[in-house]
Amino acid sequence: MELNDMGLIQKVKHNMKVVLWTGGVTLLFLMMLITGSTIVDNEAALGSGSGSGDFSADEYVEASWESEVLPFMDEQKNELTDVLQQFSESDLETVGEEIGLTDGRNWHFIVTGKAEVLTIDTESRKGNSELDIEPYDGTADVVLQLGPVVDGYAIRDVLTYIKFDDFSNQIEWSQLAAGYNTKTYETNLEGLELEEGAEISLTGVLTVNDTSKTLTPVLIEEGGN
């Protein structure tokens, strides 16, 4: 075969590749026009998640805190002393099934009672206080969250009149939990000046697992009134 013929063959092969590539791009473009699809960068897509755009967790919480949340807590509350007594007489799951709610990992109990402040730790943003629940014996029974970072979903999870399907997506559901935590911090904990040995009255959600008993308040009054 002559050199001119070989050059012609290489040129034809190159042109065929160009035509095939161009044709593929054109076909992809036409498919996008027909289906309305777009090509999106994965990282950009993951970083752009948000709620529906109309939902404001802060507004939802603010509108329902006094009218729904607090009345519900008042109706459903158990005496904290009685709940702790039941723990000493039976296992956690049995008590939980009777008067609590579970998220699969923890049991949550709506409680009210009086407590004596034993310790106060505000070194980190997850401040806490060990409480001795009456009848007082000088032993820490539960740990009260002080914030400003309030952990968990306890308040949201015990409000049985709301459910995940009431919201557009997981983001709104999570924002709601954070909104309740922010509300209780701003209402009850911000500016609260506890002292060791002081007595307080409180209502909130006691979250219990095999290793801890953590109390997230919705109401706190100093003086044990």
CA 8 → CA 1, 11, 13, 15, 115, distances in Å? Answer: 11, 5, 9, 11, 94
User: Do 94 and 28 share a domain, yes or no?
Assistant: no
Query: Could you tell me if residue 140 is inside a domain?
Result: yes
Q: How many residues does the chain have?
A: 225
In a domain, 46, yes or no: no
Q: Is residue 32 part of a domain?
A: yes
Q: Is the CB of residue 169 less than 8 Å from the CB of residue 188? A: no
Tell how strand 142-148 and strand 213-222 pair up: parallel
Tens digit of pLDDT at every position of the chain (225 positions): 554 454 544 554 445 444 444 454 444 444 433 333 333 332 332 233 455 568 899 999 999 999 999 999 999 999 999 999 999 999 999 999 999 999 999 999 999 999 999 999 999 999 999 999 999 999 999 999 999 999 999 999 999 999 999 999 999 999 999 999 999 999 999 989 999 999 999 999 999 999 999 999 999 998 866
The number of C-alpha atoms within 13 Å of 212 and in the hemisphere containing its C-beta is 11
One domain, residues 194 and 108:
yes
Q: Which two tokens stand for residue 187?
A: 């209402």
- The reply to whether 81 and 107 lie within a common domain is yes
Cα dihedral 191/196/199/205 (nearest 10): 60
- pLDDT for the residue numbered 223: 80
Q: Which residues in 67-83 are b (16+ Cβ under 10 Å) and which e?
A: eebeebbeebbbebbeb
**Residue 65 falls within a domain, yes or no?**
yes
Reduced to 3 states (helix: H, G, I; strand: E, B; else coil), residue 224 is coil
Say if residue 129 is in the same domain as residue 18.
no
| pLDDT value for 1 | 52
Note the pTM of the prediction, 2 decimals.
Answer: 0.76
Tell whether 137 and 203 lie within a shared domain: yes
Check whether residue 18 and residue 62 sit in a common domain: no
Which domain range does residue 16 map to? 3-39
**Same domain for 186 and 80:** yes
Domains identified in the chain, total number: 2
Question: Which CATH number do you get for residue 145?
Answer: 2.40.50.420
Reduced to 3 states (helix: H, G, I; strand: E, B; else coil), residue 113 is strand
Nearest-angstrom CA–CA distance, 156 and 61: 10
| 165: in domain | yes
Instruction: Judge if 27 and 86 occupy the same domain.
Output: no
* Whether residue 93 is found in the same domain as residue 181: yes
Q: Is residue 35, in this structure, part of any structural domain at all? A: yes
Burial 159-195 (b: 16+ CB within 10 A, else e): beebeeeebeeeebbebbbebbbbbbbeebbeeeebe
Task: Answer whether residue 49 is part of any domain.
Answer: no
- Same-domain pairing of 216 and 115: yes
Q: Are residues 216 and 106 in the same domain?
A: yes
Q: According to the model, what pLDDT value does residue 9 have?
A: 45
Does residue 7 belong to any structural domain of this protein?
Answer: yes
Shared domain for 25 and 97, answered yes or no, is: no
